[in-house]
Amino acid sequence: MEKETIIKYLDNYPEVIYDGINRDISSPEYIRGRETLLNATDEIQKCIFWLVEFYKPNKSFKNLKNSLQLKFYVEKYFGEYISNGSFITAVKILGYNYREFQEDICIYLSFNKVHLRRYREKYFRSDL
């Protein structure tokens, strides 16, 4: 996905900043985090790739994993830091179902436990 396309999608999600979710648009952290996220399109592209290749949702919203937990899989796969906001943006762009709670910086996804265990065994040899 092109950088310009990602930036256009970000206009639809003003609550997402580099560190996650922040609805206080007047805070200095929001402004700084938003600017940083707009410059992190490479991270967002990596998250999109990982989600398309490896994310298998569970049919129900049991066994929820938050975006901070799942972004670590992307970091381990690519060998570099990925922000929570980049992961959240990728999930929202791809239109996956997720849960969001008002005062939380994360979103929650339902990940198929069997698929996640196989992924960990193949790529990590240890549980995160």
**Tens of pLDDT, residue by residue, the chain (128 residues):** 889 999 999 999 999 999 999 989 899 999 999 999 999 999 999 999 999 888 877 777 777 889 999 999 899 999 999 999 999 999 999 998 898 988 899 999 887 666 666 666 676 654 44
Tokens at residue 120, please? 């960990």
Residue 117, pLDDT score: 67
- pTM to 2 decimals? 0.86
Query: For the chain, what are the domain ranges?
Result: 3-123
Residue 128, pLDDT score: 43
